[in-house]
């Protein structure tokens, strides 16, 4: 037979899951460390294989299926050679793809090849989870709103060590593996570093044999497909699923109910029941994730949403009210339409919150089902944290905390005390940002409406936490208590619980003749968004919560606790993560210190043992081995082994060869070949022709003011202006030729970011058509930047820009990928830049800009009107305003860099402050690049020093320090 049916079976969604492999996976044989995974008998056909003759394939297949099983190939004796793989591809081309049978063109070849690979992945997937179930191992569950995987085909066959046989098989079928792989769309499941990191982590978990599982949402349209037009960025739906996704397996038998709205009713003995409201179903789609040179294949389970067909209103449809007929279906399906729907409207906020809760609820129900199945007849809930750990990737999955408590209490019947204790030992939190707007807050009114039971739970967590604060700090210093409550409470601008007021009044009685004591809870430092549903919080709140009076027989005590009815009442999700999590980690050394010293400083003082650093990493399989095979072969040759692919510390061996002229020559030639590929790619995608002998200078990442693409393009404008002021001969002497490449998406409603995209493209349109400048300077914006684009650009890059305002980038991961591929970085001391510079050497990193501990003082100086702008900065702004780059009005963009205060002004991200230092650093770049021997040495040392930034190292640290799980190697 050509394919093994995936045999894991499941019970109903409301019952414990059941796995039973109908085929026991035993007797795997090894040949050159390759698992023999296919079942297809090696073909004896003598007909030419370069033509796909479907009729003969069908008859051959029928003949094979009629032969005795003993004559069929087995796992014990099968050799995964190109002929057998070709037969598998041909079988899938005829029987599995949704294309006409007469042709074998690229689209069809891709789907058939991918389905062929999936056969082997499913076999290993079954074996992995059969074994995990058998030994009942503790498992980590990674919860993330994003997974930016990139194309799967080359990665999968590379991990299976089958790249050569697949390439040869496709040649026999008249196709080229690279052309076939290029037909695969990137899975539109993420946007930026958060999703790329999550995908790297899954690769490392599988490669290192850790028992783990990823959970996410299956977005139908992703974020958006970015188009670059004369008007700048435009967005359209990215229908990556249009031709199907061969890597996913629909589990119609794995679905869970997810509820919104409704009401909570009390039962006997204080039990709670959440009833009524809106109910949808979350249905599982599984994506197998293979490890490198291992049989371990873990799972990424993605949830899609729907309702029962019974919800279709047939009567309304037949009467012509079609919108009403399918309203419930569309309402359920839209939860998973788009990643990060715009949240400017109330409807957008509701949809985002629905997405987050769907991820948490469906995933936790699934985890509970698996735990109960593995526990057998007797479930001991005290052991739940010994078998399960949930890692929340940023604040999006915060609702895991109240949802876990809800299930334990309302469904499993545990007490509050036990449920809260289990939760605090199960859930961990990774912080990815210090930006206030990214430390999520949700309107209490919205949460109360959508998830009423969870608000009850959150209120109780907040109440118990306040008691802990009071117990820790007392009430002798009311100003101190006010400070603690303002920064640490989960609920913001919300009355204190009665139990806390009673406690305070019991702790300290004050004679009535004394002044009334007030603890103000309004936080004027917090810039809360005014949600529509909070606008009329006013008079009722004022009357109900402004003061509380207590009398006893001896004396009168009056406490007043102020809330501000003009500010919204919010739930601070990051604070809930810290209170309810067993661990809090940042993602780079400097970021983790900011988390401890600034973002969560009060929490750190209370629970220092909770806080850790886990510097991010990227998988060296995708980000060197597969995307840059030319450089990989050179590394293997000079190190003497390819073990570096799973033990990146071996890259350090390259340091001793950094001055070797033979290695430098090979290194330069490899870089040149990759640059030629980039030049060809840019011509195809943008129409611009660039010179591969110029320096390739790249900044690719999400477009955001703090990432400072604006600083980069203003530096280019200044360079262009200076070129124009020189004679042709002088400019060639003074400037190194450069191709400046940008890529990244601006969020659809982020107006300033979209202005920056428009500005970059206008500069490019002017510079690239200037005959005086020619090849000395090109500016190219690559549309629709994604993982596949990165896999082309990064190997051919020579200078990479990571120039965020210091203290604002948590880590970054693209900086690691560029360094691994021998690209020299220019950047600030921000995020992982700090550690990269330490590892590659200060002389091999171009540093500029203010330091993180200086930023607050510099902003204060600006607000006081003390900042004096560099003349070059004023010169470049005036040049932009002169209209040289077209008729578009850039006053709003340039105005954001001026003034001392005000929204959207005062250069909050310090572009003007760092501009002169940035120009000086770029001059140092030119000087270094002129000496190609020096530059190549720097490039080699960047690769050699990047070993620390493997996601393998990061995952080992998570497993040891947070998850407490061990590798499990399949027997």
Residue 717: per-residue pLDDT: 98
Which position among 370, 591, 625, 702 bears the catalytic label? 702
Is 80 exceeded by the pLDDT of residue 731? yes
Which position among 370, 707, 755, 913 bears the catalytic label? 707
- Domain segments of the chain as ranges: 620-949
**Distance between CA 71 and CA 721 in Å, rounded?**
76
Q: How far is CA 804 from CA 140, 415, 755, 771, 890, in A?
A: 33, 48, 18, 33, 22
Is 80 exceeded by the pLDDT of residue 969? yes
For residue 74, what are its two tokens? 């087995």
Residue 559: per-residue pLDDT: 54
Q: What is the mean pLDDT of residues 532-544?
A: 43
Residue 506: per-residue pLDDT: 76
Residue 260: per-residue pLDDT: 98
pLDDT tens, position by position, 480-528:
888 899 899 999 999 999 888 888 777 665 444 344 445 554 443 333 3
Q: What is the mean pLDDT of residues 231-237?
A: 96
**Distance between CA 204 and CA 427 in Å, rounded?**
21
Is 70 exceeded by the pLDDT of residue 60? no
707 annotated active-site: yes
pLDDT tens, position by position, 6-53:
333 333 333 333 333 333 333 333 333 333 344 333 333 333 333 333
Residue 370: per-residue pLDDT: 96
Residue 326: per-residue pLDDT: 87
Is 90 exceeded by the pLDDT of residue 66? no
**Distance between CA 783 and CA 813 in Å, rounded?**
20
151 annotated active-site: no
Comparing C-alpha atoms, which of 268, 140, 224 is closest to residue 754? 224
Which position among 220, 301, 370, 701 bears the catalytic label? 701
Q: What is the mean pLDDT of residues 744-754?
A: 96
pLDDT tens, position by position, 683-721:
999 999 999 999 999 999 999 999 999 999 999 999 999
Residue 268: per-residue pLDDT: 83
Residue 435: per-residue pLDDT: 82
Percent of the chain having pLDDT more than 70?
86
pLDDT tens, position by position, 602-659:
999 999 999 999 999 999 999 999 999 999 999 999 999 999 999 999 999 999 999 9
Which position among 295, 432, 591, 837 bears the catalytic label? 432
Is 60 exceeded by the pLDDT of residue 750? yes
pLDDT tens, position by position, 760-819:
999 999 999 999 999 999 999 999 999 999 999 999 999 999 999 999 999 999 999 999
pTM as predicted: 0.88
Comparing C-alpha atoms, which of 235, 216, 295, 256 is closest to residue 17? 256
Residue 532: per-residue pLDDT: 41
**Distance between CA 244 and CA 242 in Å, rounded?**
6
At residue 311 the predicted structure's pLDDT band, cuts being 50, 70 and 90, is confident
Instruction: Show the beta-strand stretches assigned E in 433-572.
Output: 441-443, 491-492, 517-520, 548-551, 556-562, 570-572
948 annotated active-site: no
Residue 439: per-residue pLDDT: 87
Rg (CA), the chain: 30
For residue 191, what are its two tokens? 């946007």
For residue 797, what are its two tokens? 């890059």
**Distance between CA 792 and CA 782 in Å, rounded?**
12
Which position among 650, 817, 937, 953 bears the catalytic label? 817
pLDDT tens, position by position, 146-177:
999 999 999 999 999 999 999 999 999 999 99
Residue pair 35/127 in contact by the 8 Å Cβ criterion: no
Residue 74: per-residue pLDDT: 36
**Distance between CA 478 and CA 516 in Å, rounded?**
12
For the chain, give the mean pLDDT.
Answer: 88
Percent of the chain having pLDDT more than 90?
78
Which position among 813, 828, 936, 943 bears the catalytic label? 813
Residue 79: per-residue pLDDT: 57
Q: What is the mean pLDDT of residues 63-81?
A: 43
Residue 30's DSSP bridge partners are 35
| Number of helices and strands in the chain (H, E) | 37, 27
For residue 927, what are its two tokens? 């000087």
Other Cβ atoms within 10 Å of 952 Cβ, number: 25
Distant-in-sequence, close-in-space partners of 604: CB < 8 Å, separation ≥ 6: 595, 596, 597, 610, 611
pLDDT tens, position by position, 903-943:
789 999 999 999 999 999 999 999 999 999 999 999 999 99
For residue 657, what are its two tokens? 């060869």
41 annotated active-site: no
Secondary structure of residue 402 in the 3-state scheme? helix
CATH code for the domain defined by 620-949: 3.40.50.2000
Kind of pairing between the strands at 441-443 and 570-572: antiparallel
pLDDT tens, position by position, 653-688:
999 999 999 999 999 999 999 999 999 999 999 999
């Amino acid at each position: 037979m050509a394919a093994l049916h995936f045999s894991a079976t499941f019970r109903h969604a409301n019952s414990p899951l059941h796995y039973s492999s109908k085929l026991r996976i035993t007797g795997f044989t090894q040949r050159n460390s390759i698992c023999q995974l296919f079942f297809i008998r090696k073909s004896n056909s003598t007909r030419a294989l370069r033509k796909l003759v479907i009729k003969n394939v069908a008859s051959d297949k029928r003949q094979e299926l009629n032969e005795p099983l003993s004559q069929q190939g087995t796992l014990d004796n099968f050799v995964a050679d190109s002929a057998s793989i070709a037969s598998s591809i041909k079988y899938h081309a005829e029987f599995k793809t949704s294309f006409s049978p007469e042709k074998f063109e690229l689209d069809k070849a891709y789907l058939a090849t991918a389905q062929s690979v999936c056969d082997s992945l499913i076999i290993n997937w079954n074996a992995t989870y059969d074994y995990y179930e058998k030994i009942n191992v503790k498992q980590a569950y990674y919860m993330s709103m994003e997974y930016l995987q990139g194309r799967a085909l080359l990665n999968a066959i590379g991990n299976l060590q089958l790249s050569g046989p697949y390439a040869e098989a496709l040649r026999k079928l008249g196709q080229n593996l690279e052309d076939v792989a290029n037909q695969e769309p990137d899975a539109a499941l993420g946007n930026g570093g958060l999703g790329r990191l999550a995908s790297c982590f899954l690769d490392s978990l599988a490669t290192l044999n850790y028992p783990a599982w990823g959970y996410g949402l299956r977005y139908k349209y992703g974020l958006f497909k970015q188009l670059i037009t004369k008007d700048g960025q435009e967005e359209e739906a990215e229908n990556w699923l249009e031709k199907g996704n061969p890597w996913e397996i629909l589990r119609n038998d794995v679905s869970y109910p997810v509820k919104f709205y409704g009401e909570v009713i009390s039962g006997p003995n204080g039990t709670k029941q959440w009833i009524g409201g809106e109910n949808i179903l979350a249905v599982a789609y599984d994506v197998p994730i293979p490890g490198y040179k291992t049989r371990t294949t873990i799972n990424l389970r993605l949830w899609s949403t729907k309702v029962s067909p019974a919800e279709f209103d047939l009567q309304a449809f037949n009467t012509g009210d079609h919108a009403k007929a399918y309203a419930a279906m569309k309402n359920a399906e839209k939860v998973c339409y788009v990643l990060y729907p715009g949240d400017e409207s109330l409807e957008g906020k509701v949809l985002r919150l629905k997405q987050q809760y769907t991820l948490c609820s469906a995933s936790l129900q699934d985890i509970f089902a698996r735990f109960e199945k593995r526990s057998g007849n007797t479930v001991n809930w005290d052991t739940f944290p010994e078998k399960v750990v949930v890692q929340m990737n940023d604040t999006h999955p915060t609702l895991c905390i109240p949802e876990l408590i809800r299930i334990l209490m309302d469904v499993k019947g545990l007490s509050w005390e036990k449920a809260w204790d289990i939760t605090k030992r199960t859930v961990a939190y990774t912080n990815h940002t210090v930006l206030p707007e990214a430390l999520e807050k949700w309107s209490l009114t919205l949460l109360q409406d959508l998830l009423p039971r969870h608000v009850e739970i959150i209120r109780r967590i907040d109440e118990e936490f306040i008691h802990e604060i009071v117990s820790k700090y007392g009430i002798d210093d009311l100003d101190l208590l006010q400070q603690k409550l303002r920064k640490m409470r989960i609920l913001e601008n919300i009355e204190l619980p009665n139990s806390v007021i009673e406690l305070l009044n019991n702790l300290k009685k004050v004679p009535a003749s004394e002044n009334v004591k007030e603890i103000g809870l309004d936080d004027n430092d917090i810039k809360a968004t005014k949600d529509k549903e909070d606008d009329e919080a006013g008079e009722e709140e004022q009357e109900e919560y402004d003061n509380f009076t207590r009398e006893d027989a001896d004396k009168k005590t009056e406490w007043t606790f102020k809330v501000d009815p003009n500010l919204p009442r919010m739930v601070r999700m990051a604070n809930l993560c810290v209170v309810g999590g067993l661990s809090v980690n940042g993602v780079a050394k400097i970021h983790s210190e900011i988390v401890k010293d600034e973002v969560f400083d009060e929490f750190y003082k209370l629970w220092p043992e909770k806080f850790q650093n886990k510097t991010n990493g990227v998988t060296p399989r995708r980000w060197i081995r597969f995307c840059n095979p030319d450089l990989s072969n050179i590394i293997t040759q000079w190190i003497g082994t390819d073990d570096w692919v799973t033990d990146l510390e071996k890259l350090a061996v390259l340091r001793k060869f950094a001055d070797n002229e033979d290695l430098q020559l090979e290194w330069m030639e490899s870089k040149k070949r990759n640059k030629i590929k980039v030049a060809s790619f840019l011509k195809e995608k943008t129409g611009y022709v660039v010179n591969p002998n110029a320096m390739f200078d790249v900044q690719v990442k999400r477009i955001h003011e703090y990432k400072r693409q604006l600083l980069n393009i203003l530096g280019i404008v200044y360079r262009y202006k200076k070129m124009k002021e020189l004679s042709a001969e002088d400019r060639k002497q003074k400037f190194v030729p450069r191709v400046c490449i940008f890529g990244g998406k601006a969020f659809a409603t982020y107006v300033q970011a979209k202005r920056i995209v428009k500005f970059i493209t206008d500069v490019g349109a002017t510079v690239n058509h200037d005959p005086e400048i020619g090849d000395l300077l090109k500016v190219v914006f690559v549309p629709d930047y994604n993982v596949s684009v990165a896999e082309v650009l990064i190997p051919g890059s020579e200078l990479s820009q990571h120039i965020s305002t210091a203290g604002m980038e948590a880590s970054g991961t693209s900086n690691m990928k560029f360094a691994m591929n021998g690209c020299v970085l220019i950047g600030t001391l921000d995020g992982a830049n700090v550690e990269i510079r330490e590892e590659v050497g200060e002389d091999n990193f171009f540093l500029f800009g203010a330091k993180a501990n200086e930023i607050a003082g510099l902003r204060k100086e600006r607000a006081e009107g003390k900042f004096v702008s560099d003349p070059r900065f004023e010169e470049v702004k005036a040049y932009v305003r002169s209209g040289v780059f077209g008729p578009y009005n850039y006053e709003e963009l340039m105005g954001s860099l001026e003034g001392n205060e005000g929204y959207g002004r005062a250069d909050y991200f310090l572009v003007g402050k760092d501009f002169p230092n940035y120009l000086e650093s770029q001059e140092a770049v030119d000087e270094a690049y002129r000496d190609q021997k020096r530059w190549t040495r720097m490039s080699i040392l960047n690769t050699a020093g990047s070993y620390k930034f493997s996601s393998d190292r990061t995952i080992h640290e998570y497993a040891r320090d947070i998850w407490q799980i061990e590798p499990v190697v399949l027997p």
